[in-house]
Amino acid sequence: MIIRQAYKFRLKTNQTISRKLAQFAGCSRLVWNKALAFQKERLNIKQSCLSYAGLTKELTQWKKQEELFFLKQVHSQALQQSLKNLSQALKEAFDQTNPKQFPRFKKKGQRDSFRYPQGFKIDNDNGRVFLPKIGWIRYNKSQDVLGDAKNITISKKGQYWFVSIQVEIDREISKHSSSSIIGGDLGITRFLSLSNQKYYEPLNIFKKLKNQLAKLQKQLAKKEKFSNRWRRLKAKITKLHICIANTRNDYLHKISSTLSKNHAIVILENLKIAKMTGSAKGTGENPGTNVKQKSGLNRAILAQGWGEFIRQLEYKLAWNGGQLIQVNPKNTSRRCPKCGYISADNRKTQATFCCQQKSCNYTANADYVGSLNIREAGLALLGLGGRRTRVLRSPQDREMSVSLELPLKSQPTDGV
């Protein structure tokens, strides 16, 4: 099975390298803008857009122009990639069934980036990459790059440059070493509660940093745009965002690694993360501009964490021969796992679940109850009993009984 993965590292740059990277990004942007203007011109006079091949011919002509001499100093495949990206964006904009936004002109300082489809090299031992026409650049190496590198993208965020390496890995899917099935409830007071009663605390670094962030963003709003003070503040905010993202990702990687090793099947709620983050969509790419309120920020950071966690868990489980299952979250917080009674009243407070069925009175931590219900829903989905089972056995019992019934090896392929 081919698995795609991306690695991202911060490049260790000096002034000379930064200038070179900025030049490459600038030329890629210029080529994009020039090609976009060219295509718009054609559309204005009712001609169809030029194909990618046609655009590359134009590019060759541009390179010959005296005032565009600097284009020759940039690796041609990086420039062609700009044309490829534009052609793709135009194709998507004219897609009849699901048209996307028409491509726009790029401005300096907004997502500066460029990509090499080939010609680059990766040196795991020394933590460096070779970029054609630029040379070797070291990066902050946190792990080895595994697999077959397909392309490499250089991008700037704040004052830092990053490298993203997209790889494909062919992995033989083996049987998972464990046969445990576990349910998990993602939440706010606890990041993740598990049906074996373990839980993970939320990442507390946010508490400290998010206030700082909100304060800085308030200050930024008062500054004159693009003034020196504005720029300094903006750089500070970006640094903080990177710090938050790094800390968060380390934490998420630790949890997702542990879970994917210890459990063959992990069941979570389908959170429709994309929908939830809709209002703060800009935060990932362009932090700060779309997030006005502290509460919005809060939720955005949380949701980003959940989305990233699910992504990590899914591929790590797949690597280990396991599987992630996402279930409908309906009633998972309101259903009594002991007697099956469903009522909003069962959850009188955020923290505690207390069954209102008189003969039952089952009481437990609300997030733990959620994880039990999620697990039950997942088992039902797998055809392993589930919801109709009203007798609550201990989670360990349940795991044992299930592991005997489940033909794990064939499981991941059957359309669950």
Enumerate binding residues for Zn ion (CB under 5 A): 336, 338-339, 341, 355, 357, 360, 362
Nearer to Zn ion, 45 or 391 (CB): 391
Encode burial over 238-254: b for 16+ CB neighbours within 10 A, e otherwise: bebbbebbeebbebbbe
Instruction: Provide the pairing of β-strand 128-131 with 121-123.
Output: antiparallel
Nearer to Zn ion, 185 or 308 (CB): 185
Nearest approach, Cβ of 345 to Zn ion (angstroms)? 11
Nearest approach, Cβ of 358 to Zn ion (angstroms)? 9
Nearer to Zn ion, 174 or 361 (CB): 361
First to last CA, the chain: 18
Nearest approach, Cβ of 183 to Zn ion (angstroms)? 18
Nearest approach, Cβ of 334 to Zn ion (angstroms)? 11
- The 10 Å Cβ neighbour count of residue 120 is 20
Nearer to Zn ion, 276 or 360 (CB): 360
Please state the three-class secondary structure of 246-295 as a single string.
Answer: HHHHHHHHHHHHHHHHHCCEEEEECCCHHHHCHHHHHHCCCCCCCCCCHH
Nearer to Zn ion, 309 or 341 (CB): 341
- The 10 Å Cβ neighbour count of residue 60 is 11
Nearer to Zn ion, 152 or 374 (CB): 374
Nearest approach, Cβ of 356 to Zn ion (angstroms)? 8
Nearest approach, Cβ of 340 to Zn ion (angstroms)? 7
Nearest approach, Cβ of 193 to Zn ion (angstroms)? 19
Q: Which residues are catalytic?
A: 185, 269, 367
DSSP 190: S
Q: Is 131 left (phi over 0), alpha (psi -120 to 50) or beta?
A: beta
> Residues 6 or more apart from 160 whose CB is under 8 A from it?
10, 11, 238, 242
Nearer to Zn ion, 255 or 339 (CB): 339
Q: What is the DSSP string of 95-135?
A: -SSSPPPPP----TTSS-EEEESSS-EEETTTTEEEETTTE
**Rounded Cα distance, 23 and 110, in Å:** 14
The residue with tokens 């005296």 is 66
Encode burial over 371-382: b for 16+ CB neighbours within 10 A, e otherwise: bbbbbbbbbebb
Q: Quick one: 44 exposed, middle or buried, by C-beta within 10 A (0-12, 13-18, 19+)? A: exposed
